[in-house]
Amino acid sequence: MNGPVIVLVEPQLGENIGMVARAMANFGLTELRLVKPRDGWPSEKARAAASKADHVIDATRVFETLEEAIADLTFVYATTARVRDSYKPVAAPVTAAATLRGRFNAGQPTGILFGRERWGLSNEEVAMADEIVTFPVNPEFASLNIAQAVLLMSYEWMKSGMEDVAATPFSGLEQRPATKEQLLGMCEHLEEALEARGYFRPAGKKPKIVENLRAVLSRPNFSEQEINMLRGVISSLDRFSRKNPRGAKPLGDTDTATEDASHDGSARDGE
């Protein structure tokens, strides 16, 4: 066993059983049990809806009664959306997943019961479980189907085994944070290009304008790669014009001035 057994009590539609298998497989659960599926078993509709979770479908076991389906388990949750008038403890999915994970780590076989599409589990069926788990749904629209409920529990099960729930299976390309020297280099590069164009006026306002400009350029906390790209942008705007773009050979110019401008900002002269 690699996690709790998922038990569906009298499921009606093969499609739903298939979607349950698919939900389970996404989060590493593989053991599915059915109590009296209405349309029998195996089900081609279930296999189609399982979207290649064939290992779950092939291993699915069918039982005549819920008692038999849970006979070998030591701890069982019943899922329910309705308020139950019982003394059974009621857990949120995160709490239930943590409990199941603890028992799994201790080698105990556990299960989660899901009721019929129309009316869920009977009180007698809930009574066979150890605890109840219920979902924090919008009280004005509480309508999870069984495949959705299985998906949420499977997802919480997967998360309960992660050291850090904020971890992701992949991450963005690593960016080296820029040093303040690199940031200041870009600022000075830009300020010099602007100065040459008479941007700072009146001259007395230049210190305040520079201060504001540097505030704008500091806030994004640019990475080294981003600063290199931005310096290339500044160089291009500074060195070429719409009339004399890079690579053009205007009369009277040598072509050397345009050949060393790169996109990574390494060229910054050429005024």
Q: What length is written for the chain?
A: 271
Residue 95 makes contact with a second copy by CB under 8 A: yes
Q: Does 152 bind a second copy (CB under 8 A)?
A: yes
Nearer residue to a second copy within complex by CB, 30 or 258: 30
Structure tokens at 165: 């729930």
Rounded to whole angstroms, the Cα distance separating 242 from 198 reads: 19
Asked whether 145 and 8 are in contact (CB, 8 A), the reply is no
* Contact code string over 65-94 relative to a second copy, x by CB under 8 A: ------------------xxxxxxxxxx-x
Q: What angle do CA 240, 243, 245 make, to 5 degrees?
A: 40
Q: Which of residues 208-237 bind a second copy (CB under 8 A)?
A: 223, 225-226
Token digits of residue 236: 């291009």
Distance of closest approach, residue 88 Cβ to a second copy, in angstroms: 5
Nearest distance from C-beta of residue 142 to a second copy, angstroms = 7
Whole-angstrom distance, CA of residue 54 vs CA of residue 13: 17
* Closer of 210 and 230 to a second copy (Cβ): 230
**H or E element at residue 76:** strand 75-79
Q: Compute the CA torsion angle 261, 266, 270, 271 (nearest 10 deg).
A: 120
Closer CB to a second copy, 25 or 100, in the complex:
25
Per-residue mark of binding to a second copy, 4-43 (x: CB under 8 A)? ------------------xx-xxxx---------------
Minimal distance, residue 34 CB to a second copy, in Å: 20
Separation of alpha carbons 6 and 23, rounded Å: 11
Contact characters 176-215, a second copy, x per CB under 8 A:
----------------------------------------
Whether the CB-CB separation of 75 and 44 falls below 8 Å is answered with no
Nearest to 130 by CA among 86, 174, 193: 86
**Residue 101 CB, nearest approach to a second copy (Å):** 14
SS3 126: helix
- Residue 15 CB, shortest distance to a second copy, in Å, is 10
Interaction of residue 134 with a second copy, rule CB under 8 A: yes
Interface with a second copy (CB under 8 A): 22-23, 25-28, 51-53, 83-92, 94-95, 132, 134-139, 141-145, 148, 151-152, 155, 158-159, 162, 165-173, 175, 223, 225-226
